[in-house]
């Protein structure tokens, strides 16, 4: 096995992997090396991976069960390209493969990806890894930024660590979309149940590495048992802390890059590009997490 990993930042957050072709079958030692690299770096970048949707799904399955795309849940099939349900369409193309126009509903919903978030944190069992494959990249812009939630946690002062140790937060897609002007009613009566908030621990412990991390996301709308404005201000302050430059790696995409991030220990956001004129076609597969982050009793409370 000739796989090697070079850290992309001084802190060691994010690593660039070379010496492996992910489009062919992998052996268990290679899968283990990637998992170990994820535990160490939180984000891994691979270049020159010429995936099809089929080979991307096959590679992704080495790391667990695939989630069905949430975009597919909150939109009609006629609004989207006919991809497999495990493929999240992170592009600016409509069902006919044309650029989405300025007022296109799904274009506007997708702008929520520019808020710092953790994928699928609005699910009771949230995502483990996300794997994003760059099929077509724009001429300019469209970076993706990643923030290290383990380093951000470590850098909090002791008093704040104690104060937040056992807090539980509420996550919903409705909260992140509310920040960019959507109303719950914009999603239609048939989707309201999918917007019901789920609860997660604010501080997660990772038994693999023995480290804690801040579990933040634009999908958070409340801290349980706190007045809403106070909870939102705490989340805003923690988020401002966590996305300071020393915790961030900015990825400038090349065509056929694959980037894997761990949603349990990182946040990410998309940066702007000229999406009305320039095609950006990215495809994401998402690995389901192992379980809930708070007990079922707390979940139901």
Positions touching Mn ion (CB under 5 A) are: 119
Nearer to Mn ion, 154 or 178 (CB): 178
- Report phi then psi at 95, rounded to 5: -55, -30
CB of 250 to ligand OGA, least distance (A): 11
284 binds, options Mn ion, ligand OGA, none, Cβ within 5 to 8 A by partner type:
ligand OGA
Which one of Mn ion, ligand OGA, none is in contact with 270 (Cβ closer than 5 to 8 A by kind)? ligand OGA
Residue owning tokens 């949603």:
263
* Minimum gap (Å) between residue 231 Cβ and ligand OGA: 24
**What does 238 bind: Mn ion, ligand OGA, none (CB cut-off 5 to 8 Å by kind)?**
none
24-56 burial code (b ≥16 CB/10 A, e <16): eebeeebeebbbebbeebbbbbbeebebeeebb
Q: How far apart are CA 252 and CA 140, in angstroms?
A: 9
Least distance from ligand OGA to the Cβ atom of residue 227, Å: 30
Smallest distance, ligand OGA to C-beta of residue 143, A: 7
Q: Which does 201 bind (CB under 5 to 8 A by kind): ligand OGA, Mn ion, none?
A: none
Q: Determine the Cα–Cα distance for residues 264 and 272; give it in Å rounded to an integer.
A: 25
Q: Which 3 state secondary structure label does DSSP give 61? A: helix
Would you say 122 or 164 has its CB closer to Mn ion? 122
Nearest residue to the partner ligand OGA, using Cβ: 270
Nearer to ligand OGA, 141 or 298 (CB): 141
- Residue 113 is classified by DSSP as G
> Could you tell me the smallest distance in angstroms from the CB atom of residue 286 to ligand OGA?
8
DSSP 92: S
Q: Which one, 56 or 130, has the nearer CB to ligand OGA? A: 130
Task: Give min distance, CB of 71 to ligand OGA, in A.
Answer: 10
Partner from ligand OGA, Mn ion, none contacting 275, C-beta within 5 to 8 A by type = none
* Residues near ligand OGA (CB under 6 A): 90, 113, 119, 130, 132, 144, 268, 270, 282, 284
Q: Which helix (H) or strand (E) holds 260?
A: strand 258-262
Least distance CB 148 / ligand OGA (angstroms): 16
CB-based contacts of 126, cutoff 8 Å, min separation 6: 118, 119, 120, 171, 200, 263, 264, 289, 293
**Which one of ligand OGA, Mn ion, none is in contact with 44 (Cβ closer than 5 to 8 A by kind)?**
none
Q: What is the DSSP string of 263-299?
A: TTTEEEEE----TTTS--EEEEEEEE-SS-SS-HHHH
Taking CB positions, which residue lies at the least distance from Mn ion? Answer: 119
Q: List all residues 6 or more positions away from 249 whose beta carbon is below 8 Å from its beta carbon.
A: 8, 9, 13, 14, 43, 145, 146, 148
Q: Which does 282 bind (CB under 5 to 8 A by kind): ligand OGA, Mn ion, none?
A: ligand OGA
């Amino acid at each position: 096995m000739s796989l090697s990993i070079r850290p992309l930042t001084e802190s060691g957050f994010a690593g660039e992997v070379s010496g492996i072709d992910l489009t062919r079958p992998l052996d268990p030692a290679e899968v283990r090396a990637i998992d170990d690299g994820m535990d160490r770096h939180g984000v891994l970048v691979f270049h020159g991976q010429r995936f099809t949707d089929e080979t991307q799904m096959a590679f992704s399955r080495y790391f667990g069960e695939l989630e069905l795309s949430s975009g597919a849940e909150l939109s009609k099939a006629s609004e989207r390209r006919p991809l497999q349900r495990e493929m999240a369409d992170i592009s600016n193309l409509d069902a006919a493969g044309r650029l989405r126009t300025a007022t296109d509903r799904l274009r506007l919903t997708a702008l929520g990806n520019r808020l710092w978030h953790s994928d699928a944190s609005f699910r009771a069992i949230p995502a483990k890894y996300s794997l994003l494959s760059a099929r077509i990249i724009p001429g300019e812009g469209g970076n993706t930024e990643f923030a290290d939630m383990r380093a951000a946690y470590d850098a909090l002062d002791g008093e704040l660590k104690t104060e937040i140790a056992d807090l539980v937060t509420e996550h919903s897609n409705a909260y992140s979309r509310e920040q960019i002007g959507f109303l719950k009613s914009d999603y239609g009566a048939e989707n309201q149940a999918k917007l019901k908030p789920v609860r997660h621990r604010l501080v997660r412990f990772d038994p693999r590495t023995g480290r804690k991390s801040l579990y933040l996301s634009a999908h958070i709308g409340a801290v349980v048992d706190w007045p809403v404005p106070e909870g939102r201000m705490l989340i805003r302050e923690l988020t401002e802390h966590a996305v300071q430059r020393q915790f961030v790696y900015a990825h400038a995409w090349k065509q056929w890059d694959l980037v894997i991030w761990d949603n349990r220990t990182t946040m990410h956001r998309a940066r702007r590009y000229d999406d009305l004129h320039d095609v950006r076609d990215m495809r994401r597969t998402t690995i389901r997490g192992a379980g809930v982050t708070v007990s079922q009793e707390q979940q139901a409370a």
